[in-house]
């Protein structure tokens, strides 16, 4: 009988957490934040999204879309000024980023997050360098 009550309490907490997440996090998840900043007609051939950062490239329109929430930018790859690998270590945990510098006086540096994956960041840095001819 105690096991059944324990399972019911666990199920009740699980359902309660799920319902509160659906009610209060609507429109506030990282994926939804990024999607709100993407152009509606953008169909990327190549993209990466991690957390609230995004980079996507559309060959047909030669458009590069950058999102570093709450900032988003659509530009031609030739407009990119420079690409730089970055790493940030906090409490022994290293995060890897690609910093993309663009000619925008309001927000000139977009950082795309690759979590703890330096190899994936390096692959993307090479792909972006090829796309942007940097």
Model confidence over 50-80: pLDDT tens digits? 989 999 999 998 999 999 999 999 999 999 9
Cis peptide before 70 (omega within 30 of 0): yes
For the record, the structure tokens of 36 come out as 């709100």
What DSSP state is assigned to residue 45? Answer: S
Which residues constitute the domain of residue 106? 38-132
Beta-carbon-side half-sphere exposure of residue 19 (alpha carbons within 13 Å): 6
What DSSP state is assigned to residue 105? Answer: S
Please report the pLDDT score of residue 24 as a whole number: 76
For the record, the structure tokens of 53 come out as 């950062």
What's the sign of the alpha-carbon dihedral 78, 79, 81, 86? negative
If you search the block for the tokens 């006086």, which residue do you land on? 105
Model confidence, pTM: 0.76
**Is residue 51 assigned to a domain?**
yes
Please report the pLDDT score of residue 12 as a whole number: 93
Please report the pLDDT score of residue 33 as a whole number: 87
Taking residues 87-114, what's their average pLDDT?
92
CATH number of the domain that residue 89 is part of: 2.30.29
Please report the pLDDT score of residue 27 as a whole number: 65
Domain identity same for 23 and 47: no
Number of structural domains the chain divides into: 2
Domain identity same for 123 and 61: yes
Domain identity same for 9 and 66: no
């Amino acid at each position: 009988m105690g096991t059944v009550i324990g399972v019911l309490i666990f199920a009740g907490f699980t359902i309660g957490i799920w319902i509160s997440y659906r009610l209060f996090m609507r429109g506030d998840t990282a994926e939804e934040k990024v999607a709100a900043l993407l152009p509606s007609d953008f169909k990327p051939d190549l993209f990466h999204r991690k957390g609230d950062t995004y980079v996507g490239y559309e060959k047909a329109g030669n458009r590069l879309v950058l999102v570093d929430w709450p900032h988003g930018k659509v530009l031609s790859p030739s407009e990119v000024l420079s690409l730089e690998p970055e790493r940030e270590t906090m409490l022994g945990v290293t995060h890897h980023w690609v910093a993309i510098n663009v000619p925008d006086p309001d927000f000139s540096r977009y950082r795309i997050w690759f979590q703890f994956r330096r190899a994936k960041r390096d692959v993307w840095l090479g792909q972006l360098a090829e796309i942007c001819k940097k």
